[in-house]
Structure formats: structure tokens, C-alpha cells
Amino acid sequence: MKNKKIKYKISHGVYVVTTKDGGCVVDAVSQVSGGEEPLISIAINKGNYTNELVSKNKKLILSIVPESNDGNLIKNFGHQSMRDVNKFETGEYSEVNGIKVPENVIGYLECVLVDTIDAETHTLFIVRAIDGDMYNDEKPMTYAYYQDHKDELIKVETELGKKAYVCTICGYVYYGEELPKDFVCPRCGVDASLFKLQS
């Protein structure tokens, strides 16, 4: 690819997938069929704990994040793994059929798993939206908006006095003098060109 950054100009929305015992931020979501109960595809990295949980639980909630979100929901669900922290200890939640739904979202779709497709680094979960609710009519956050505002939305704190390279996609921090050219973000899988030296 002549310029890898072009991939980040494919804009989607910003969502939170929750399921029993975990969840994560996703942008790779698209509606793939119409009708009363449409099919939706959600691409989840095979390394993410949420991938394991959705495969096991076979149901999830897809919450729609508004542009007005202060970034805490995105940091909590998109910058750390449920393997390391209990994300549900931060923030407020309601519950829909045993699955937690974050407060301050536009609404949610309750989905059941109908199929999976192996997509190299990711699994495409094909889910059917069987129910949903809308709490307000705010503007949904697009991935393009997130990209344009992520410096304010997800300001990453790094340790003072250490040279730090921050992943501009997910906020992972690499400490070291030089970021290896072949470095791949262990959290979101992007390459070294998408890391920025924190000044």
C-alpha cells in the first residue's frame, strides 16, 4: 500500500459491544441486510477477550456512542482488556436480558449470533438485531470524528521522563528509545507507522 493511512479514511461509527462478562469498542460494524430484524456484521480482533466471550455467549448488545461522549467510555472499553481490569467497575449501566448497557449512549441493539466468518486477524460476527431501544436523538459519533478529536477524547498519560510512543489508534504506549520499525501494536494490530512520539 502506497500510504497506509488511507485505510483510516473508511469511516464507520463508534460503538460499544457488551456481552456477559465483558465487551469492547468497535468501529468495524455494518448493516448487511434489511427488514425488521436486520443482519449486522461486527469484526472483532481474535486477540480481544470480547471475541472469546461473543463466541461463547452467542448474544451481545451493540450500543451507539454519541459525538458528545467525553471519551471515558471509549478509554474504558477500547484501551484496556477485560483480561486485566473489570471494565464494568467504571461507569453506570442498565441491564437488558443479563447484558450491561452503558449509560449515556444514544440507544442499543440487542443481537444474537447467527454466523461467523474467519477474516484473518479478525472474526466477522454476523448477528441479528432482534430488539433495540433509542434513548435520545443525539448525533452518532463517526470514526472520522473520533480520528479528528482523539487527542482530546483519549488523552493518554505516559510516565514522566520516559520516551513513549503512543498508538494513535488505540492508545497503547511503547516505552523505549526507538520504536522498532516492524513493531505491531499488541492491542489493536496496527504497525509502527501509526505510533506517535509523545512530546
Residues interacting with ligand FMN, by CB under 6 A? 14, 22, 24-28, 43-45, 48-50, 74, 77-83, 146, 170, 187-188
Smallest gap from Cβ 36 to ligand FMN, in A, equals: 26
Of residues 77 and 174, the one with the C-beta less far from ligand FMN: 77
Of residues 60 and 129, the one with the C-beta less far from ligand FMN: 60
Measured CA to CA, the distance from residue 159 to residue 93 in angstroms comes to 31
Closest-by-Cβ residue to ligand FMN is 78
Of residues 22 and 102, the one with the C-beta less far from ligand FMN: 22
Measured CA to CA, the distance from residue 18 to residue 119 in angstroms comes to 21
Smallest gap from Cβ 40 to ligand FMN, in A, equals: 13
How many angstroms from the chain centroid is the CA of residue 199?
Answer: 26
Measured CA to CA, the distance from residue 131 to residue 110 in angstroms comes to 5
Of residues 129 and 156, the one with the C-beta less far from ligand FMN: 156
Of residues 27 and 110, the one with the C-beta less far from ligand FMN: 27
Buried b (16+ CB within 10 A) or exposed e, 33-52: eeeeeebbbbbbbeebbbbb
Fill in the DSSP letter of residue 7. Answer: G
Smallest gap from Cβ 130 to ligand FMN, in A, equals: 22
Smallest gap from Cβ 138 to ligand FMN, in A, equals: 17
Smallest gap from Cβ 161 to ligand FMN, in A, equals: 26
Phi, psi of 192 (to 5 degrees): -60, -25
